[in-house]
Amino acid sequence: MASNEEITGPISQEDMEAADKLKNEANEYFKKQSYNNAIELYSKAIEKNPKNAVFFANRSIANLRLENFGYALSDASKAIELDRSYTKAYYRRAAAYMSLGKYKLALKDFEYVTKVRPNDQDAKMKYTECNKIVKKIAFEKAISVDKKEVNIADSINLEAMTIEDEYVGPALEDGVVTLKFVTELMEFYKQQKKLHKKYAYKILIDVKAYLQKQPSLIDIKVADDAKFTVCGDIHGQYYDLMNIFKLNGLPSETNPYLFNGDFVDRGSFSVECIFTLFSFKLLFPNHFYMSRGNHETLDMNRMYGFRGEVSSKYTSQMADLFTEVYNWLPLAHCINGRVLVMHGGLFSKDDVTLDDIRKVDRNKQPPEDGIMCELLWSDPQPMAGRAPSKRGVGCQFGPDVTSTFLQRNGLDYVIRSHEVKNDGYEIAHDGKCITVFSAPNYCDTMGNLGAFITMNGKDLKPNFTTYEAVAHPDVKPMAYANSFFNMLCQ
């Protein structure tokens, strides 16, 4: 999608009227949360009249909703270029910067608006709120000194935590996750009850200790006659996670699973999702796998709800511990040496090998480029070659890139997640790049199906099961998200 359309010559009245009509149609699609259709029509409006800043600002917010932060940033910048006084365009750009963790650049946009519109109370308020976030992050960095030296898991005193008499929820047995514990926990969560903090902390500490010993790329062996399941994004949709287990059976040594990142954020039952998944990880460590997604990161958790949810249901200290645990999640899994599974996608260079992935030092927040970043953020594109990412991070890669990577590494195909698909999955690049997304009716608005993949060890042929969203308690998505960020994205 181009956002730097050439502006040449005068625009006819006819084209301006046609563009306005297209914009109005796009707005209707936007109201129905049909963002791809809205973007298509805004783009057509821009073709007719590339001098109207509103069209670019509107396309920017639609791209923000689809997490196309790179496109959103580019469109907002274009709107500003066309109309320096257009306040909304600065807000759009600020929201895109914040989504990319570039809070100081967001602050600059608010500062500019307050200077050119000194009496605008809304602009002043947004500047003040953004400034608070920037200062808070600076303060968190200052008190953490060197994150590698501060080990939250080691500072937790479980012995000092007492289980109150009135607590009647699931309990670890001698400090260990059992099948009884997990099955009780899932039912407890369905009733919107909260696991005791002592057990919650113990699970996190134990998961971290296990993950620290694992490589960045996990090799999985699946026997010829055995079944294996791969799930995509869950995004805090706990009741849909329960539906997956209902449709496909609970995880066990004979029913292994891989959950491919983005367990949390957006959906407002992220705490329930992650503790259920981590419990299964501890129960069946060699038959239950979890990959890191781009939402198992501090910036995403800060904006999209997980950090707020953990702080609300437990403490900000536990939110910090989650960040510490997520840093140790593996970045990719290889099934029988033939199928590579990662959350995002492939790379900006052709020479990357499986050994290169194995050697990645993953115990950190993802950098803005390189192998780790691209595993979490990249997306496939239908055309050959590579392109800058629509998300502003990672890259877009074509079928030739996929083919070269598979050939170099002796693989059959790749599975990735990271993108909403109407059918819950998409087969691209001549069947060599499969997307699976397991959160149906994403954010209660997208209307998509969810899907998971099953295969047997012998032929590793992907089979797709799709399903609709199930009912959940009346807690809206993004209920715990940064309220200021939510306001920007209205």
- Distance between CA atoms of 316 and 333, rounded to whole angstroms? 31
Strand partners, 464: 453
Using alpha carbons, list the distances in angstroms from residue 460 to 229, 368, 382.
11, 33, 24
DSSP 444: G
- Distance between CA atoms of 108 and 112, rounded to whole angstroms? 6
Please give the distance of CA 28 from its chain centroid, rounded to a whole number: 27
Question: What six digits make up the tokens of 119?
Answer: 């009496």
Q: Catalytic residue, from 196, 235, 287, 295: name it.
A: 295
- What are the start-end ranges of the H helices in 233-351? 238-248, 270-283, 298-304, 306-313, 316-326
Using alpha carbons, list the distances in angstroms from residue 16 to 39, 42, 46, 138.
18, 13, 10, 47
- Specify whether 295 is catalytic: yes
- Distance between CA atoms of 376 and 366, rounded to whole angstroms? 8
Question: What six digits make up the tokens of 134?
Answer: 């920037």
- Distance between CA atoms of 443 and 346, rounded to whole angstroms? 27
Using alpha carbons, list the distances in angstroms from residue 136 to 73, 124, 274, 478.
24, 18, 26, 21
Question: What six digits make up the tokens of 332?
Answer: 């990719």
In the block, residue with structure tokens 């002043």: 124
Residue 43: which H helix or E strand, with range? Answer: helix 35-48
Strand partners, 380: 397
Residues labelled catalytic: 295
